[in-house]
Amino acid sequence: MKEVFRKIASFSMALVVLFSTLSFTVDMHYCGDTLVNTAILHKAESCGMEMDKPSTSSDCEMKKKNCCSNKQLVVEGQDELKTSSETLSFEQQIFVATFVFSYVNLFEELEEGESSYSDYIPPLVTRQIYKLDETYLI
């Protein structure tokens, strides 16, 4: 039981470390106000309605607005994994060490053949006490 709990705890801590250091980007393509395409780790495909930029040969031309837009969400992970124990005071370090020691020993199991009452002699029964305390309705 103790080994299974330890394996589950170590696996979950490894997942926490993995996901806290993972960084990725989410690329989104909007056409107007509606989300058309979303991509993780690469560029989102366009909807095909993007306008080419017109040549700027004359200033009198009216320019149309592009209805499509791209947005990028960057999720950055943690760079430093080393945490220092210098931020904890000496009393806090003692408390943490004591708590961990007592919590680990809380789940200590007894061996199969070991019993806590084998050293004691059972009491001698001189009278049946439960019969002395009973009441009978006649």
pLDDT tens-digit readout, 4-63: 899 999 999 999 888 888 888 889 988 888 888 888 878 888 777 765 555 555 555 555
Q: Name the percent of the chain in helix, strand, coil, to the closest 5.
A: 35, 15, 50
Across 100-122, average pLDDT = 76
Across 64-71, average pLDDT = 78
Q: What percent of the chain has pLDDT over 90?
A: 12
**Helices vs. strands in the chain: H and E counts, helices first:** 3, 3
What whole-number distance in Å separates Cα of residue 58 and Cα of residue 91? 76
Model's pTM, two decimal places?
A: 0.40
Question: Is pLDDT above 60 for 67?
Answer: yes
Instruction: State which amino acid sits at residue 113.
Output: G
Instruction: State which amino acid sits at residue 3.
Output: E
Question: Is pLDDT above 90 for 114?
Answer: no
**Which DSSP letter does residue 28 get?**
E
